């Protein structure tokens, strides 16, 4: 089962023990989840599918917009105009300008490569999201733990929200001190899971000079 926004919302609702939605409405939990998944990057990312992101070269054009899905570019392969593999471009033949994480980056290609009117193939990494590239099971606990901390912090800072939570299906009243202890434990769990969540990535070739 894919870890869609709705699925993660259900996990968070169970973790918060707030099924009535009075304390944390569903839309608020959605926002917490969206931010938590986005914040997995840069520690966590996914490898782009092979041959999914390419750029046709045009004679006289040396700057090309990079698909904003790509947040880290580690290698650029070159195919000539006949589609023949020419290997990876040397790192002094291409350069990134702009901000990749903001989705405004462009790649600058040395003129003699661009004039071949061949194709570039991008190899790199993207950021998980809640609409198309869902997180694998490995990171669900880390996301829910992050959302738990945020939600509980909202609760302790908002007296009305705290009282709503306190009265929902609780076997006994929970004091502010006990709630603070719950928040502290949630932060500790979040920190442990955050340290575990990372992706091994291929290194980017170094540039000299």
Distance CA 74, CA 201 (A): 9
Which pLDDT score is estimated for 208? 37
Tens of pLDDT along the chain (209 residues) come to 799 999 999 999 888 876 655 668 889 999 999 999 999 998 899 999 878 899 999 999 999 999 999 999 999 999 998 889 999 999 889 999 999 888 899 999 999 898 888 999 999 999 999 999 999 999 999 999 999 888 887 766 555 555 655 555 454 455 555 666 666 777 777 776 676 666 656 665 544 33
pLDDT at site 124? 92
Task: Provide DSSP, 79-92.
Answer: E-TT--EEEEPPGG
- 86: Cα within 13 Å, side-chain hemisphere: 16
Taking the C-alpha atoms of residue 156 and residue 179, their distance in angstroms, rounded to an integer, is 7
pTM value is 0.73
């Amino acid at each position: 089962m894919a870890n869609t926004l709705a699925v993660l919302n259900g996990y968070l609702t169970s973790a918060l023990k707030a099924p009535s939605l009075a304390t944390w409405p569903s839309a608020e939990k959605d926002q917490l989840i969206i931010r938590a998944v986005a914040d997995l990057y840069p520690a966590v990312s996914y490898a782009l599918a092979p041959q999914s992101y390419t750029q046709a070269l045009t004679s006289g054009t040396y700057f090309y917009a990079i698909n904003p899905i790509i947040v880290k570019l580690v290698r650029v392969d070159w195919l000539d105009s006949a589609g023949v593999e020419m290997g990876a471009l040397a790192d002094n033949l291409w350069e990134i300008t702009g901000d990749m994480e903001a989705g405004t980056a462009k790649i600058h290609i040395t003129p003699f490569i661009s004039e071949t009117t061949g194709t570039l193939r991008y190899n790199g990494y993207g950021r998980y999201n809640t609409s198309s590239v869902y997180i694998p099971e490995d990171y669900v606990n880390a996301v829910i733990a992050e959302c738990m901390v945020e939600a509980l912090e909202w609760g302790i800072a908002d007296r009305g929200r705290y009282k709503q939570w306190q009265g929902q299906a609780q076997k006994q009243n929970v004091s502010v001190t006990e709630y603070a202890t719950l928040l502290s434990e949630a932060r500790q769990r979040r920190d442990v899971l955050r340290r575990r969540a990372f992706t091994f990535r291929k290194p980017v070739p170094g540039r000299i000079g």
